[in-house]
Amino acid sequence: MHLVISVLNMKSIRAREIICGKPSILIYRGKIQEEALIKERFTINELEERLRSLNVNNLGDVEYAILETSGQVSVIPKPNKRNTTPEDFNIEPEYEGIPYDLVIDGVVMNKNLKEIGKDYKWLKKEVREI
């Protein structure tokens, strides 16, 4: 049954809407969509709670709020309330790579040290500086 539902989900947009539902726009262009809230059985208080959990404290800062099929609320802030990025200032940050665990449960991960081009001597020196 799971396989049949998965195939239907992949092959048919209509079946996907029936099985999974479709996202609902709760705030559209800064305006609360009361009809959508009623349809989704969502209160203003619940919307505010979900927004606060996303660090949005003011409804007036939201351009769009979308109730996803997973039950999560996605928020697109108004342009003047969006976080800035280095790209906004034409800055190209240096590549940071991914973090490597160098010591786990008191054991030195020599393979990870080698991966980042460092050795045990370097690690001891870094630990002493802390």
Task: Supply the pTM of this predicted model.
Answer: 0.63
Widest distance between CA atoms in the chain: 65
Please report the pLDDT score of residue 34 as a whole number.
96
Contacts of 30 (CB under 8 A, 6+ apart): 60, 62, 63, 78
Segment 16-34, tens digit of pLDDT: 777 778 899 999 999 999 9
Name which residue leads in pLDDT, 36 or 13.
36
Domains of the chain with CATH codes: 22-92 (3.30.240.20), 94-129 (no CATH)
Please report the pLDDT score of residue 11 as a whole number.
83
